[in-house]
Structure 1
Amino acid sequence: MFSLIIRGRKPLELHKWLNFRVSLNPSAFSSASDVSLQDTQKGNSFTVSYLVESLGFTTKLAESIWTTDKGCNLVSVLALLRSHGFTDSHISTIIKTYPRLLLQDAESSLAPKLRFLTSRGASTSELTEILTKVPKILGIKKDKALSRYYDFVREIIVVADKSYYSLPEGSAQGNKLRNVLVLRDMGVPQRLLLPLLISNHHVCCGKEKFEETLKKVVEMGFEPATFRFVEALRMHYQLSDKTIQEKLSFYGKLGFSEGDVWEMFKKNPSFLPLSEKNVLNSIEAYLGLGFTRDEFAVLVKCHPQCLNYSAELVKRKTEFLVKDMNWPVKSLVSNPTVLGYNLEKRTIPRCNVIKALMSEGLLGSELPSLGSVLVCTDHAFLKRYVMKHGDDKKLVAELMAVFTGGHVS
């Protein structure tokens, strides 16, 4: 989706980092700010200690980086960033946002990009501000593309008061920037604008079609400050009027009115492009789990995201809630959002607490409602089912252990 994403086979280190959130303390870089590349070559123990204590890596990951010759490069990357005016806070943010930057070779890859941007007139304050907010720019290899995306982002972040009416018409770059600035002025937040700016998707590249699509989305009542506004813009842009009519006809045959479809679209714009085959497979999966056609219709109208879920995940979650926990299918129909919750991290830990309470006879003979168990915050759940037993500290400790354990009892 994003042109800034490095394509091809991911290296071993990247596979690990994709599942690893770097937890950084901005002040952690202070003690390492004067560490040179030569210092890191004094021994494995120093490098591993530096990665663990300063950057928050696990010992295993730190050792892996060192053995793949990334340890020295990592410190040289940090030193290079500091030499270009990046503060501890900047570097912390960059690594949390774009950890694969540390896989780049400091001298042969990263340094030339920073020198190129500086040679184009970028000041230290501008360079650090832009690259801290959108560090993926540094993943671009060619100078021409690097320059183009840097300028795009600069227009949004730095030259925020520039009028889009003064931009030249005709070029794809000019149209894209003009359209993104239009969205900015409508109230679309920066965090939603930047992905549009660096995306290969053509939603912001046209002129007439963009204006026509934007008008439709606004008339439907989407709020510009929300992700759904941008998602609706994408979906409307990629579907022709003919395709939309075919979609409405298809859902009509399934028993949904045109009004139903557009209400579902407002709740989840991404469901509309689904193929007829995927929708029919989804219906078959839900019916096979015990939902009636009427229940399925109610489920989808209330929570159209259900159509996007894989049949395997829906089966696992439904079987756990209905067969293991004994909630009736109609409880899921009344609380369809539970099908979107993470089974291992949210559903199972809470249900294990309920099982533990029932086994102790502390909930009576009836199972609590599905909504009271799953459709609430962790704080509300713990207050409702754990902290109410505060007089029994041993029981509270046991319940917390069950809750944090995340295993099926």
Structure 2
Amino acid sequence: MFGFVSKNIVQFVNRRVVIEIQLCFFQNPCLKSISTTPKGKETSKATDFTVSYLVNSCGLSSDSALSVSKWFHLKTTENPDFVLLFFKKQGFTDTQIAKMISFRPDLLKFNPDKILKPKLDFLRDVGFSTPDLTFLLSKNPCILASSLDNLIVPAYGFLKNILGTDEVIILTAKRAPWLLHNDLHKMIGPKIRALRDHGVPDSSISAMIKQQPRCFIIAKPDRFTVALTKVKEMDFKPSSSFFYLALHAILSTSESNWEEKFELYRSFGWSEDDFLSAFKKQPRIMALSKDKMRKMMDFFSREPGLGLSVVSHCPNLLLLSLEKTIIPRWSVICVLMSHGILNKDVNFYTICCSKGENFLEKYVIKYQEKVTQVLEAYQGKTVIGG
């Protein structure tokens, strides 16, 4: 019914794990070097030897080692020992090493000096500290299995042109390590051109990559363009941060899930115009779970002093915690209004956006001697509204 989201947009949420696996193994020639499973009588010996080494030397659990041994086998410990020693000298903890090997056991067959060290040297040269490196590579060891000259260096150069500084690249790479082991010219380049064609300035593109890097991987260029067109049709300004928040919301929600969420909002009385008005003010309302949407909308619809018009006007309220922020503060406001201390036209959104200590000082501590119920209301001991 709500037809501005294309049926072709990738169903990102359910495919997140699949995407990560595809990214890790995409264009990775190193996989060809992994030994095939031995056949016949050698299988049992090779499996036992591999499992024993993975558990006793690499720190894998028995279940993880058995799973790995179904497709990966070791014939000797000589090179694996060198690899483990190399990682320890580079500052990796035992836990991080186990994590890397469980995901990429083929690293044990790499030459530490010729294959692994040049990659760490490059990353250190551009500014990665040892904690940065160990965090990044234990999170995504596929970087170590990727070509330095063909993938890592070109990817870093691509990011440098877009993000500008090494510091920003490091922060972004730690958030999305896959950026450093893929052909970004092919993967992201067309989408950046599409953004520019739609009038999005380079500063906004840089912000998108820093804050929402997944927007650039979850859809093919043509689907990305469809989403861009829909965002422009909703009159989001290309230079606004809401533009890429809306783009991310559309790309990260499947069509069926989008329709279900839209219908949920409609079930509380919102028209399509009401929804569009709220979405344009805060696109992240579509990133909420349906359970939270339902609880929030139900609360506001039942409270006579609030109403859904408050949410439509200030959709940021939906992003707050119902139990920790909305209910305690509304309870306090209701107590103060019942004693004539506050007017009924109080701006509840402004009150909810104030810092916790400021709210406590201004509305609870200030009046707790005069109105004893105010502290009980804040602590959830007094039921208000309904």
TM-score, scaled relative to structure 2 = 0.58
Shift of 1:340: 0.9
1:258–1:234 CA distance, 2 compared to 1 (3 A) = same
Q: What residue in structure 1 maps to residue 43 of structure 2?
A: none
Structure 2 residue 324 is matched with structure 1 residue 345: yes
Report the CA distance between 1:278 and its aligned residue.
3.2
Contact 2:258-2:286 at 8 Å conserved across structures: yes
Match of 1:158 among 114, 117, 124: 124
1:109 is aligned to 2:59: yes
Deviations 1:194-229 (A, max 9, x none): 2322x4x798443344344456478353274x5x43
Match 1:382 to one of 360, 363, 366: 360
Corresponding position of 1:185: 165
CA–CA distance in structure 1, aligned partners of residues 325 and 191 of structure 2: 38
The structure-2 alpha-carbon separation of the partners of 1:401 and 1:308, relative to structure 1 and needing over 3 Å to count, comes to same
1:403 aligns to what? 378
- For the residues of structure 1 that align with 2:332 and 2:82, how far apart are their CA atoms? 58
Aligned amino acid, residue 204 of structure 2: F
Distance in 1, Cα, partners of 2:294 & 2:176:
35
Matched, 1:321 2:303: no
How far apart, in 2, do the equivalents of 1:231 and 1:311 lie? 24
- Give, in angstroms, the shift of residue 344 of structure 1: 1.6
Provide, for residues 239-298 of structure 1, a one-character-per-residue CA deviation record: whole Å limited to 9, x for no partner.
Answer: 33422343356568xx62475898643334421313333333333222221223322221
**Equivalent-residue separation in structure 2 for 1:278 and 1:153 (angstroms):** 41
Highest RCO, 1 vs 2 (Cα 8 Å, sep ≥ 6)? 2
Give the aligned residue type for 2:361. Answer: K
Distance 1:388 1:318 in 2: 31
Distance change in 2, residues 1:160/1:246 (3 Å):
closer
How big is the shift at 1:327?
0.7
Distance 1:161 1:263, change over 3 A: closer
In the TM superposition, what is the alpha-carbon distance from 1:386 to its structure 2 partner?
1.3
Match of 1:207 among 172, 182, 185: 185
Partner of 2:99: 139
- Is the deviation greater in 260-269 or in 327-336? 260-269
Give the counterpart letter for 1:330 in structure 2.
S
Q: Secondary structure at 1:331's aligned position in 2?
A: helix
Partner of 1:243: 223
Query: Any unmatched runs of 5+ in structure 2?
Result: 1-15, 21-53, 62-76, 129-146
Change (3 A) 1:259 1:192: closer
State the distance in 2 between where 1:371 and 1:322 align.
15
Report the 3-state secondary structure (helix = DSSP H, G, I; strand = E; otherwise coil) of the residue aligned with 1:246.
Answer: helix
Q: 1:357 aligns with which of 314, 336, 353?
A: 336
Calculate the aligned-residue CA RMSD, in Å. 4.6
> Do 2:336 and 2:342's aligned partners in 1 also have CA atoms closer than 8 Å?
no
- Cα distance, 1:378 vs. partner? 1.0
Counterpart-to-counterpart distance in 2, 1:299 and 1:260: 18
Whole-Å separation in 1 of the counterparts to 2:382 and 2:149: 59
Query: In structure 2, what is the Cα distance between the partners aligned to 1:237 and 1:404?
Result: 45
Distance 2:155 2:221 in 1: 23
Residue 262 of structure 2 aligns with an amino acid whose one-letter code is I
Give the whole-Å Cα distance in 2 for the aligned partners of 1:152 and 1:287. 57
